[in-house]
Amino acid sequence: MWDDYGYHPHVAIDVLLLMSLIKIKDDKTFWMHDQVRDLGREIVRQENLTNPYERSRVWNCDEARSILKEKEGNKKIKAMSLGGYLGFHEGILTSDEVAPLRNLRFFQGSWKCLVGDFNNLLPSLRWLSWKFYSSQFEATNFHPANLVILDLSWSNISEEWIGWEQLREAKKLKVLNLNWCEHLKRTPNLSTWVYLERLDLDGCNNLIEIDPSIGNLRSLLTLNLPNSKLP
pLDDT digits (tens, 9 = 90+) for 53-90: 999 999 888 899 899 988 888 899 999 998 764 444 45
CA-CA distance, 30 to 45, in Å (whole number)? 24
Residue of 196, 186, 123, 127 lying closest to 157 (CA atoms): 186
Task: Supply the DSSP symbol for 81.
Answer: E
Nearest to 184 by CA among 219, 211, 148, 165: 211
Bridge partners (DSSP) of residue 115 are: 94, 138
Q: What are the domain boundaries of the chain?
A: 57-224
Non-local CB neighbours of 8 within 8 Å, separated by 6+ positions: 2
Neighbours of 33 (CB within 10 A): 12
Dump pLDDT digits (tens) for 80-127. Answer: 998 764 444 457 889 999 999 999 999 998 877 889 999 999 999 999
pLDDT at 2: 47
pTM exceeds 0.85: yes
| CATH superfamily to which 57-224 belongs | Ribonuclease Inhibitor (3.80.10.10)
